[in-house]
Structure 1
Amino acid sequence: MMFNEEFETLPRQALEALQLKRLQSMLERVYANVPFYRTAFDRAGIRPDDVRSLQDLQRLPFTTKQNMRDSYPYGLFAAPMEEIVRIHASSGTTGKPTVVGYTQKDIETWTELMARTFVTAGAHKGDIIHNAYGYGLFTGGLGAHYGAERLGASVIPISGGNTKRQIMIMQDFGSTVLTCTPSYALFMAEEAKIEGVDFRNLKLRVGIFGAEPWSEAMRVEIEEKLNLTALDIYGLSEIMGPGVAQECYVAKSGLHIWEDHFIPEIIDPETCQVVPEGTKGELVITTITKQGIPLVRYRTRDITSITYEPCACGRTHARLARLSGRSDDMIIIRGVNVFPSQIESILVGIEGVEPHYLLIVDRQDNLDTLEVHVEVDERLFSDEIKVLQALSRSIEKEIKDMLGVTSRVKLVEPKTIQRSEGKATRVIDKRKLV
Structure 2
Amino acid sequence: MTKRYWQKDIETISRRSLEDLQVKRLRSVFSRLYRTVPNFQSKCRESGVKPSDIESLKDIVKIPFTTSEDLRGGYPDGLLAVSRDKAVRLHTSSGTTGKPKALFFTKKDINQSADLIARCLTMTGTGSGDVLQNMMTYGLFTGAMVMHYGAEKVGALVIPAGPGSTERQVALMKDFGTTAVHILPSYALYIATFMARHGMDPRKDLSLKRAYMGAEPYSEKTRQKIESIYGIDVYNCYGLTEMNGPGVAFDCMERSGLHLWEDQFILEIIDPATGQQLPDGEQGELVLTTLCREAMPIMRYRTRDITRVKPGKCPCGRTHRRISRILGRTDDMFIIRGVNIFPQQIENVLMGIRGVAQNYQIVLESLDDITIRVEIASDMFDGNIERLLAIKKEIIEKVRSSVLVRPDVELLEPGTLPVADGKAKRVIDERTL
TM-score per shorter chain, which class? over 0.9
Query: One-letter code of the match for 1:240?
Result: N
In structure 2, the partner of 1:214 is 218
Query: One-letter code of the match for 1:296?
Result: M
Give the alignment partner of residue 190 of structure 2, picking from 175, 178, 187. 187
Q: 2:290, 2:297 within 8 Å by CA — same for their partners in 1?
A: yes
Q: 1:121, 1:246 within 8 Å by CA — same for their partners in 2?
A: no
- Report deviation, 1:55: 0.5
CA RMSD of aligned residues (A): 1.2
CA displacement 1:34-75 (0-9 Å, x = unmatched): 122101100110102201000000111110111111111211
The alignment's TM-score, normalised by the length of structure 2, stands at 0.97
Cα distance in 2 for partners of 1:419, 1:225 equals 19
Structure 1 segment 133-172 matched on structure 2, within 5 A? 133-172=136-175
User: Which SS does the other structure have where 1:263 is aligned?
Assistant: strand
Query: One-letter code of the match for 1:246?
Result: F
Give the alignment partner of residue 131 of structure 2, picking from 128, 132, 142. 128
User: Which SS does the other structure have where 1:387 is aligned?
Assistant: helix
Cα distance in 2 for partners of 1:67, 1:396 equals 42
Structure 1 residue 336 corresponds to structure 2 residue 339: yes
Higher mean alpha-carbon deviation, 422-431 vs 286-295, is at 422-431
Give the alignment partner of residue 236 of structure 1, picking from 232, 240, 247. 240
In structure 2, the partner of 1:223 is 227
User: Which SS does the other structure have where 2:302 is aligned?
Assistant: strand
Structure 1 segment 354-365 matched on structure 2, within 5 A? 354-363=357-366
Structure 1 segment 382-397 matched on structure 2, within 5 A? 382-397=382-397
Cα distance in 2 for partners of 1:417, 1:55 equals 49
In structure 2, the partner of 1:420 is 420
- Report deviation, 1:213: 1.1
Cα distance in 1 for partners of 2:409, 2:76 equals 44
- Report deviation, 1:207: 0.6
Cα distance in 2 for partners of 1:166, 1:330 equals 33
Query: One-letter code of the match for 2:207?
Result: K
Structure 1 residue 18 corresponds to structure 2 residue 21: yes
CA displacement 1:188-234 (0-9 Å, x = unmatched): 11111122222223211011111111111111100111121011000
Structure 1 residue 293 corresponds to structure 2 residue 293: no
In structure 1, the partner of 2:252 is 248
In structure 2, the partner of 1:205 is 209
In structure 2, the partner of 1:40 is 43
Q: 1:358, 1:372 within 8 Å by CA — same for their partners in 2?
A: yes
Give the percent of matched residue pairs that are identical in Structure 1 and Structure 2: 45
- Report deviation, 1:414: 1.1
User: Which SS does the other structure have where 1:401 is aligned?
Assistant: helix
User: Which SS does the other structure have where 2:286 is aligned?
Assistant: strand
Cα distance in 2 for partners of 1:296, 1:166 equals 39
Q: 1:308, 1:317 within 8 Å by CA — same for their partners in 2?
A: no
User: Which SS does the other structure have where 2:242 is aligned?
Assistant: coil
Query: One-letter code of the match for 1:243?
Result: G
In structure 2, the partner of 1:82 is 85
Cα distance in 2 for partners of 1:187, 1:203 equals 18
The alignment's TM-score, normalised by the length of structure 1, stands at 0.97
Q: 1:344, 1:355 within 8 Å by CA — same for their partners in 2?
A: no
Cα distance in 2 for partners of 1:418, 1:49 equals 55
CA displacement 1:106-155 (0-9 Å, x = unmatched): 01111111111111222122211111111100101101100011111111
Extract unaligned runs of 5+ from structure 2: none
Q: 2:13, 2:319 within 8 Å by CA — same for their partners in 1?
A: yes
Extract unaligned runs of 5+ from structure 1: none
- Report deviation, 1:386: 4.4
Query: One-letter code of the match for 2:390?
Result: A
User: Which SS does the other structure have where 1:75 is aligned?
Assistant: coil
Structure 1 segment 66-77 matched on structure 2, within 5 A? 66-77=69-80
Q: 1:399, 1:405 within 8 Å by CA — same for their partners in 2?
A: yes
CA displacement 1:260-284 (0-9 Å, x = unmatched): 0000000011111111101111000
In structure 1, the partner of 2:266 is 263
Q: 1:129, 1:179 within 8 Å by CA — same for their partners in 2?
A: yes
Cα distance in 1 for partners of 2:34, 2:418 equals 46
Structure 1 residue 110 corresponds to structure 2 residue 113: yes
Q: 2:266, 2:288 within 8 Å by CA — same for their partners in 1?
A: yes
Q: How many residues end up aligned between the 2 structures? A: 429
Q: 1:284, 1:299 within 8 Å by CA — same for their partners in 2?
A: yes
User: Which SS does the other structure have where 2:365 is aligned?
Assistant: strand
Cα distance in 2 for partners of 1:213, 1:258 equals 20
- Report deviation, 1:388: 2.4
Cα distance in 2 for partners of 1:338, 1:380 equals 29
User: Which SS does the other structure have where 1:368 is aligned?
Assistant: coil
Cα distance in 1 for partners of 2:383, 2:72 equals 51
Q: 1:234, 1:243 within 8 Å by CA — same for their partners in 2?
A: yes
